[in-house]
């Protein structure tokens, strides 16, 4: 039973976290705008805010899509976790733990989940897994000289 449910659980986890990251990245482009995000990052003392703001926005959009698809998980998972660690250091740490006071519990959860997804393999319903199976099948089918 557990083996039948695991692929679905990994898919749901990836999709939900991917949608959260995508939505936050998309918001940076559409609702706040990159100039607003840059000004906000600058007010937080984030170094190179003019570079960091678009980099974070792109990472969250592309990383969110990658999580949804299950593609590039070992790359995007740690990058998104680092993104969230930056949010903790520059914004949330001084507000305590709980989210209702601006604390870091939500972004810490996103960071930890990003790492878990990154090293889960994404499950059999992930692009990474499908690609790996094709590579394995191709190498097994290759004639031996």
CA-to-CA distance for 42 and 62, rounded, in angstroms?
Answer: 23
Round the average pLDDT of the chain to a whole number and report it. 93
Which of 115, 25, 133, 41 lies closest to 78, judged by CA?
Answer: 115
What is the per-residue pLDDT for 139? 62
For the chain, what are the domain ranges? 2-128
82 has pLDDT over 80: yes
CA-to-CA distance for 107 and 85, rounded, in angstroms?
Answer: 8
Contact indicator for 73, 120 with CB cutoff of 8 Å = yes
User: What is the chain's percent helix, strand, coil content, to nearest 5?
Assistant: 80, 0, 20
Contact indicator for 112, 84 with CB cutoff of 8 Å = no
Mean pLDDT of the region 16-21: 98
pLDDT tens per residue, range 96-144 = 999 999 999 999 999 999 999 999 989 999 999 987 766 666 666 556 5
**End-to-end Cα separation, the chain, in angstroms:** 43
72 has pLDDT over 90: yes
In degrees, rounded to 5, the angle at the alpha carbon of residue 77 between the alpha carbons of residues 58 and 108 is: 95
């Amino acid at each position: 039973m557990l083996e039948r449910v695991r692929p679905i659980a990994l898919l749901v986890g990836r999709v939900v976290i991917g949608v959260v990251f995508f939505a936050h990245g998309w918001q940076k482009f559409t609702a706040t705008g990159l100039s607003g995000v840059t000004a906000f990052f600058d007010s937080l003392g984030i170094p190179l805010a003019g570079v960091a703001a678009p980099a974070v926005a792109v990472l969250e959009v592309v990383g969110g899509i990658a999580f949804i698809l299950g593609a590039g998980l070992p790359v995007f998972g740690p990058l998104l976790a680092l993104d969230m660690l930056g949010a903790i250091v520059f914004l949330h740490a001084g507000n305590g733990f709980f989210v209702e006071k601006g604390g870091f519990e939500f972004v810490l959860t996103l960071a930890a989940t990003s790492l878990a997804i990154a090293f889960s393999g994404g499950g059999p319903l992930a692009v990474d897994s499908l690609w790996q199976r094709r590579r394995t099948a191709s190498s097994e089918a290759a004639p031996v000289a």
